Amino acid sequence: MAHYVELVWNPRDSAHLSRKDLAPGRYRTFVPDELRSHLPRVGQPAHQAAEDALGALARADERIGARGRCLHHLLIRSESTSSSWIEGNRVTPKKLAVAELLSSGTRVAFDVVANVLATEEATTDLADRTRPVTTADIEHLQHVIVPSRVPGLRTEQNWAGGPGWSALRADVVPPPESEAGRLVDDLARFVTETSGNPLVRAAIAHAQFETIHPFIDGNTRTGRTLSHTVLRRGNALRNTLIPISTVFAGDPTTYIAGLTSYRLPR
């Protein structure tokens, strides 16, 4: 059952902290329910919207067909660029092309290239319905996106949002690091399953991933990339990719607010 865990904030390394961040106190971390493999029931309006959207995706995918290889190439790069925009990092198509083809450019451009590689892997290897998705797969996906980080789940408490650098002042505090492995294992099983509406499954998987926040860096980019694995495994899309991050980038405030208010429906 979902619950909160109360912890103490009392930082030892104070060299880089402000007076407000140094203030000790108690904070609560949220530990979500496990998903298992079944889809939770959603309300009728949401169910109908998901069914309508699934039909629209199927029609678009059929029209594009297997001949849409060049378009698919562009859509993956559109998705990766938009995903970086949500993080506040902007790069032009020209700079992305230079970084990808000539291995020259800014750090932001190479970050988008990494996102391209991860998205391609998410829609090929991880989308193979004959094999399960594992925690190791998710760890690898994040490492492709953030290769500078040591691979693996986080081994310390993290948080998101808020001013400064303090768990007490954060907008969201994910589960303690001791819970990350169990929850990601459960999420991997949920992503592997293909029953039900794949859009509903992708939305819940993404929100659950961000709630767990299992890595020190690259969580939101990895979560969005993993959504494409769910859509492909569920046969929502067979020939191409829909750049969902382009929509999120158009209204990032609402998108982030939706993720931070997520609670698994019973």
Locate all alpha helices (DSSP H) within 146-251, ordered by sequence: 177-192, 198-212, 219-233, 244-250
Say how far residue 84 (Cα) sits from the centre of its chain.
Answer: 12
Structural domain contains residue 220: yes
- For 29-65, b/e burial (b = at least 16 CB within 10 A) is bbbbbbbeeebeebeeeeeeebeeebeebeeebeebe
pLDDT, tens digit, for every residue of 101-153? Answer: 999 999 999 999 999 999 999 999 999 999 999 999 999 999 999 999 999 99
pLDDT higher than threshold 80 for residue 266 = no
Q: What is the mean pLDDT of the chain?
A: 91
pLDDT, tens digit, for every residue of 41-87? Answer: 889 999 999 999 999 999 988 888 877 778 888 999 999 999 988 88
Split at pLDDT 50, 70, 90, the class of 14 is low
Structural domain contains residue 22: no
121: helix, strand or coil: helix
Calculate mean pLDDT across residues 170-187.
95
Cβ atoms of residues 186 and 34 within 8 Å: yes
Check the CA dihedral 247-227-105-147 and report its sign: positive
Place of tokens 């993080």: 87
Distance between terminal CA atoms of the chain?
Answer: 10
CATH (domain of 102): 1.10.3290.10
Split at pLDDT 50, 70, 90, the class of 257 is confident
- For 100, the token pair is 């990808």
Of 98 and 162, which is predicted with more confidence?
98
Structural domain contains residue 254: yes
Structural domain contains residue 133: yes
Structural domain contains residue 144: yes
Structural domain contains residue 27: no
- Nearest CA among 189, 200, 82 for reference residue 138: 189
Count how many domains the chain has.
1
CA distance 81 to 97: 11
Per-residue pLDDT, 264: 55
- Please tell me the number of Cα atoms within 13 Å of 25 on its side-chain side: 11
Structural domain contains residue 84: yes
What is the span of the domain harbouring residue 192? 60-260
Structural domain contains residue 30: no
Max avg pLDDT among 30-34, 82-86, 90-94, 255-259: 30-34
CA distance 180 to 174: 9
DSSP summary character for residue 34: P
